[in-house]
Amino acid sequence: MPDLSFNALHAPFGAFSSFTCGYAVSWDATPAANSGGFSPSTRFPAQQSLFVGWRRGDGPWNLLPFVRQRADRAVEFTASVRKGVTQAHRIVEAREVERHLGLASDRWVSGPLSLSIYSPFEKTADWESLDDKRRKFLCAPVVPARCTADNRSGAGDLEIMFGFGDTERGLRYLGDGDPSLIGFASATAYGLATRPQPGLRVKSGMDLFSNWREDQRGLHLLGSECALILKVPAGESRNLDVALGFLQQGLITTGIEAPFYYSRYFSRLDDVLSFGLDHFGEYVAIAGARDRELDAARLSPDQKWHVAHSVHTYLGSTQLLEHSGKPLWVVNEGEYRMINTFDLTVDHLFFELEWWPWAVRDTLDLFASRYAYTDSIHSPDGRRAEGGIAFTHDMGVDNQFTPAGQSSYEIPNLTDCFSYMSSEQLVNWVCCAATYAERMGDQAWLSGKALILEQCAESLRRRDDPDPAKRNGIIGWDSDRCGPKGSEITTYDSLDVSLGQARNNIYLAVKTLAAWLLLSRAFSRLGKKAESQDALARATLVASSIMAHRESETGLFPAVFEDGNVSRIIPAIEGLAFPLYLGMDAELAALEKATGIISALGTHLKEVLKRGVCLDPTTGGWKLSSTSDNTWLSKIYLCQYVARRVFPNSLGKESAQDADVAHKAWLLSSHTRHLAFCDQIKSSDGFPYGSKHYPRGVTSWLWMG
């Protein structure tokens, strides 16, 4: 069952909505609440029943395992009614089902029925350069689904069913308003529809499998269960093509007031559904192209599954808005719904540069214009000085953009979760900006950001130490925004000090090294030779300082270069992803020749990828830190990319192929499978500590390169 039973998000591009399907709630002895269904801008999957099945003649319905146990609403409604004959139905068993998750599809097969749900997405280099027709097609808030009834070898009629039950809302029959749309909607928020065809009928009521209390059309709109039913004669195979649509009208966000971009084109849910059906074949073709691209990748089946699952969940968090006539890009932070969390933006970077690089550019512009600030800084021994430019952790939460220079997350006088991430977000802006400009060859944009890049370089130097004579290249000062009792943290906020503390942390030190390498390349592109050479010198200084902390007896690095810390971490190698992605092999080779840091990091990785250190002793999965069982799959994927590219000799079978299997098992555990992709995982059993319904796993896209 676990290999079949997991929720995947099927999401329109930029609609922050998903038709979530795949968790076999009917098979689960202790079913989770989040079974699936229509999920418009929610933290978790919906709690609906999905009715997908088949029957021959008047035989029992054979239903896929998406049906929640529900109260008898007919009895709840009135004690005086008498139910009619109940139609027999059963849930198919796991042995009767096959499932395949593609990059842009999810296919279930049971007997003569197949169900395919599609999540098509396309490359767009620049959103504003597209014509209105293409923009409408790409941002339409619709998900195509196809049920196929194969009755070519049957001796009698075959019926298939596709429907849902929503216990929270009533139903609207679409055919009452438009006879060309056969389907149902939950008010004006979401619904499903198909076109008329021979053998098609509809059914709704309090119980789809009871024959009581229906009008002449098979409807009882007081109920909350509905279905499309298609009868297929013997010797034929037919498709039931269904558009699943969403619509949220009006202003969606505050602070920066913006509606969904698709509101330009759609004011009625019925129009969304009709558009989806009119373009059904085009959407399916796009999804097929995406699937073939993943199929052709030189990855193992387990790796392909990780890529597909993470991309599906990422798409469910995307939100394309319109402000002042221009696109406004948002990726919501999964269950937390924070807006453009910067330490996620930097990890989504690699996927977004492949598919919609304009989103990276626009997000960086908004950070620079609204969410940058200048602070003062202090050292652990009490010295104080002016700091420099830094950036907020996020842009807001729950569709509320925060005021300029403020995040929704950061507060003072803390040393762990919810403290400030000034240094990390500074490094993140540099890494994103330089990577975008170099990868896309956007010299005009880079030239426009020359001043802010110089400000970032100076801020990095000062956060090392305002006194040039005392600098070692490693972040050693904290922002005064932290308050007198606080200190800066990293994105690894819920781990222990081994990864959570920003100051003197090897993770952030190597990422800072990468930022200097990228700045050197950017300054060179800008014709700033002195600044480029200084940035290279800074990278060498950071590397030399890191090497000074290498333990001679073990060849390992401590996670934090203070207080006798002896934690071991995998993300010591994480920052190398950026120069690797940009093909900066010559710069890395020069750094290795000057300091030996690359080979030293390889030795470190080989020694920590052992059970009881950074491999979990129970599951064999990667633990980011030897002193914490809270491990993050998105960061594991990122470090696996670096390890496979630079340190293949540090990976044994247990830490490579076997680890991919272990990581998949985490996402298929009884704790996680109903929540789609979860990032923060307990390494011993797959329990989700947090970051559920999470987009960050698209770091796995790096494996495709």
pLDDT tens string 449-481: 999 999 999 999 999 999 999 999 999 999 999
For tokens 């200190």, the residue is 487
* Helices 357-370/342-355 angle, 10° precision: 150
Can you read off the two tokens belonging to residue 419?
Answer: 């403290």
| pLDDT computed for residue 77 by the predictor | 43
pLDDT at 300 exceeding the cut of 70? yes
The span from the CA of 53 to the CA of 147, in Å, is 9
pLDDT at 525 exceeding the cut of 80? yes
Cα 7 to the chain's mean position, in Å?
13
Beta carbons of 579 and 517 less than 8 angstroms apart: yes
| pLDDT computed for residue 74 by the predictor | 45
> How would residue 223 be classed by pLDDT, with cut points 50, 70 and 90?
confident
Mean pLDDT of 104-110: 98
Residue 368 placed within a domain: yes
pLDDT at 535 exceeding the cut of 90? yes
Can you read off the two tokens belonging to residue 46?
Answer: 């919906």
The span from the CA of 229 to the CA of 215, in Å, is 16
Q: Are residues 262 and 366 in the same domain?
A: no
pLDDT at 482 exceeding the cut of 50? yes
Residue 154 placed within a domain: yes
What are the tens digits of pLDDT across the range 119-160?
A: 999 999 999 999 999 999 999 999 999 999 999 999 999 999
- What percentage of the chain reaches a pLDDT higher than 90? 92
Helix and strand totals (H; E) in the chain: 18, 27
Q: Are residues 169 and 314 in the same domain?
A: no
Residue 524 placed within a domain: yes
Would you mind telling me the total number of residues written for the chain in this entry? Answer: 705
Mean pLDDT of 401-409: 98
* Helices 269-278/280-296 angle, 10° precision: 60
How far, CA to CA in Å, does 106 sit from each of 84, 115, 252, 378? 36, 8, 30, 52
Q: Are residues 234 and 365 in the same domain?
A: no
Radius of gyration, alpha carbons of the chain: 27
* Region of 187 on the Ramachandran plot (φ > 0 left; ψ -120 to 50 alpha; else beta): left
Q: Are residues 218 and 341 in the same domain?
A: no
Q: Which of 291, 307, 341 is the last residue of a domain?
A: 291
Of residues 114, 55, 51, the one with CA closest to residue 88: 55
The span from the CA of 89 to the CA of 478, in Å, is 64
| Average pLDDT of every residue of the chain | 95
Residue 7 placed within a domain: no
What are the tens digits of pLDDT across the range 4-19?
A: 999 999 999 999 999 9
Beta carbons of 433 and 522 less than 8 angstroms apart: yes
Q: Which of 257, 291, 325 is the last residue of a domain?
A: 291
Beta carbons of 112 and 151 less than 8 angstroms apart: yes
Beta carbons of 479 and 538 less than 8 angstroms apart: no
| pLDDT computed for residue 218 by the predictor | 78
| pLDDT computed for residue 81 by the predictor | 43
Mean pLDDT of 667-683: 96
Owning domain of residue 127 = 14-291
Beta carbons of 364 and 432 less than 8 angstroms apart: yes
Burial 413-440 (b: 16+ CB within 10 A, else e): ebeeeebbbbbbbbbbbbbbbbbbbbbb
Residue 6 placed within a domain: no
Least confident segment among 332-341, 478-487, 490-499 = 490-499
| pLDDT computed for residue 673 by the predictor | 96
Beta carbons of 474 and 396 less than 8 angstroms apart: no
> How would residue 76 be classed by pLDDT, with cut points 50, 70 and 90?
very low
For 441, residues 6+ apart whose C-beta sits below 8 A from its C-beta are none
Q: Are residues 637 and 541 in the same domain?
A: yes
What are the tens digits of pLDDT across the range 487-515?
A: 999 999 989 999 999 999 999 999 999 99
pLDDT at 369 exceeding the cut of 80? yes
| pLDDT computed for residue 208 by the predictor | 87
Q: Are residues 639 and 696 in the same domain?
A: yes
Of residues 346, 182, 341, 246, the one with CA closest to residue 10: 246
Residue 4 placed within a domain: no
| pLDDT computed for residue 210 by the predictor | 74
Domain containing residue 559: CATH number: 1.50.10.10
For tokens 């499978």, the residue is 673
Beta carbons of 588 and 633 less than 8 angstroms apart: no
* pTM tops 0.85: yes
Beta carbons of 356 and 123 less than 8 angstroms apart: yes
Return the higher-pLDDT residue of 292 and 70. Answer: 292
Mean pLDDT of 556-562: 97
Burial 62-81 (b: 16+ CB within 10 A, else e): bbbbbbbeeeebbeeeeeee
| pLDDT computed for residue 211 by the predictor | 60
| pLDDT computed for residue 78 by the predictor | 43
Q: Are residues 119 and 92 in the same domain?
A: yes
| pLDDT computed for residue 214 by the predictor | 62
Residue 2 placed within a domain: no
The span from the CA of 145 to the CA of 108, in Å, is 11
Of residues 699, 632, 696, 692, the one with CA closest to residue 6: 692
Q: Are residues 280 and 301 in the same domain?
A: no
Q: Are residues 45 and 64 in the same domain?
A: yes
> How would residue 1 be classed by pLDDT, with cut points 50, 70 and 90?
low
Q: Which of 224, 259, 291 is the last residue of a domain?
A: 291
The maximal CA–CA distance of the chain, rounded, in angstroms, is: 88
pLDDT at 486 exceeding the cut of 90? yes
The span from the CA of 381 to the CA of 177, in Å, is 73
For 40, residues 6+ apart whose C-beta sits below 8 A from its C-beta are 16, 17, 189, 190, 246, 248
Neighbours of 248 (CB within 10 A): 20
Looking at residue 151, its amino acid is N
Residue 466 placed within a domain: yes
Can you read off the two tokens belonging to residue 537?
Answer: 């010198």
Q: How many domains does the chain have?
A: 2
The span from the CA of 13 to the CA of 461, in Å, is 40
Q: Are residues 499 and 555 in the same domain?
A: yes
Q: Are residues 213 and 320 in the same domain?
A: no
| Local structure of 187: helix, strand or coil | coil
Q: Are residues 276 and 324 in the same domain?
A: no
